[in-house]
Amino acid sequence: MRHTWRWFGPIDRVSVRDAAQAGAQGIVSALHHVPTGIAWTAQEIARRQAEVRAGGLEWEVVESIPVSESIKTQTGEWRAHIAAWQDSLRRLAEAGIFTVCYNFMPVLDWTRTDLRWEAADGARAMRFDLIDFVAFDLFLLARPGAAQDYPTALVDEADRRFAAFDDGKKTALARNIGAGLPGSSDGYSLAELREALARYAAIDADRLRRHLKDFLAQVVPVAEELGMRLCAHGDDPPWPLLGLPRILSTEADYRDMLDGVDSPANGVTFCTGSLGARPDNDLPAMARRLAPRIHFVHLRNVRRETDGFPCSFFEDQHLEGGTDMVAVIAAILAEERRRKAEGRADHQIFMRPDHGQEILDDLTRGAQPGYPAIGRLKGLAELRGIEHTLSHSVFGMA
């Protein structure tokens, strides 16, 4: 695997040099300052490349070119936004960057109720508390009809929980759930979130799937012509939220997307953390079956705290939690070996240690939630150890 590291640009308190010292071979980044729907220019791309090179590495994967809400809802200037997306692909290819991760989650990207929850050993991690989330939905957001989406027992427990919230807890919960994309300063106030949800009142899962395929039908041929790989990230968490449809939560969801626009350029970001929050997702089996279309891998682990789904969970250490990370990495290495035997230039699959617990000096650095220096260094070292062992003892690679 190609070991990469997410970097949010000059605002990131974890530097490119830090990433290189941690063992990263390349950088995953994006132009977070460019407004959604605007094409990335050659000048801005070159500026980010220079910033990365100054730290000793290269910008190798884009995460992400945002897909606008207009594209997802097919309203407003959605056609112009798709054209801008296509132009961004062209400029990236000219700069020598050929792998682009994106997501199609409506309104909210990954959603957590706590961005720095304290574990028993003092480490801090991101957490999704189902009862807190339901309390937010029912009593802070006050979404019409929300109570119908949850079992009565869960509604009653959320009511009891909310009664104990002070103003600080309410403010923090609303801020955490309404947070914008990682690396951006965007976010939603309660009023803005209600307005954004209203845009999806007539959009169910089937319609959102059609909109995804319409988007892919326009951008995948451009990527294919340029020799690029597009990688769809799954829903996080992988179930409907706030009445919104989520359409990349299971293997069947991914298969529908891949079959809908059948091209090697239409691929998967296989995120073990996002998909791992659902107990019915068999991640090693999914990795084996989706392997030919996996072009980017996010390796992290979550620990489910309640049965079924939706559920409460937290971001565990990379080799803890519910995912058999050894089996997943074995599946990725087997796919790399298959591609190499075919003589493919893209036989090496990009990976990055996704998220990480804040430990040691991370606790005072104040980095982007989920993206500490030492927690990710630890995770990358552990994942590299698994890869090294499998490569030599199972696959016999030099």
Beta-sheet strands, E only, within the chain: 2-6, 26-29, 59-63, 99-103, 114-118, 124-128, 229-233, 266-271, 294-299, 301-304, 313-316, 350-353
Q: Clarify whether 233 is annotated catalytic.
A: yes
- Centre a 10 Å sphere on the Cβ of residue 97 and count the other Cβ atoms it contains: 20
At 183, list the tokens. 């690396």
Q: Which of 3, 32, 298, 318 is catalytic?
A: 298
CA–CA separation, 398 and 396 (whole Å) = 7
Q: Clarify whether 371 is annotated catalytic.
A: yes
Q: Clarify whether 355 is annotated catalytic.
A: yes
Prior bond of 245 cis (ω within 30°): no
233: CB partners within 8 A, 6+ apart: 63, 64, 101, 102, 103, 248, 269, 271, 274, 298
Q: Clarify whether 18 is annotated catalytic.
A: no
CA–CA separation, 239 and 22 (whole Å) = 34
Q: Clarify whether 318 is annotated catalytic.
A: no
Q: Clarify whether 33 is annotated catalytic.
A: no
Q: 3-state secondary structure string, 5-58?
A: EECCCCCCCCCHHHHHHHCCCEEEECCCCCCCCCCCCHHHHHHHHHHHHHCCCC
At 315, list the tokens. 């971001």
Q: Which of 12, 236, 271, 318 is catalytic?
A: 271
Q: Which residues are catalytic?
A: 233, 271, 298, 354-355, 371
